[in-house]
Amino acid sequence: MTRPDIVIDYLANCPELAGELARLSWKEWQDVYQQREQTLEDLLKNYRERMNTDRLPLTLVAVYAARLRSEPGWLETTARQANSSGWCH
């Protein structure tokens, strides 16, 4: 059996993605973070605090072909396709 190209995993299992995730989030929502007087370093700290698998808060990441997925709507579209194909119930 081949390994799937898309993997949903805990950020705790992919700690090397925390920095990239913080940068992507900063790029998308920088104005909001700045209004809250938060910095990129604050975001990184927040993501590191969410590296849990057994309690909240936790963060899940979608990794496609070993790259973090960041396109808006990608996960929603993927979930819709998965549901229509019977992949998830």
Give residue limits of the domains in the chain.
Answer: 6-85
What's the confidence (pLDDT) of residue 7? 85
What's the confidence (pLDDT) of residue 68? 66
What's the confidence (pLDDT) of residue 62? 85
Is the separation of the CB atoms in 50 and 57 below 8 Å? Answer: yes
Alpha helices in 1-89 (DSSP H): 18-35, 40-49, 74-85
List the chain pLDDT tens, one digit each, 89 residues. Answer: 666 678 899 999 999 999 999 999 999 999 999 999 999 999 999 999 999 999 999 999 888 765 666 544 444 444 444 444 444 43
What's the confidence (pLDDT) of residue 65? 66
Is the separation of the CB atoms in 34 and 42 below 8 Å? Answer: no
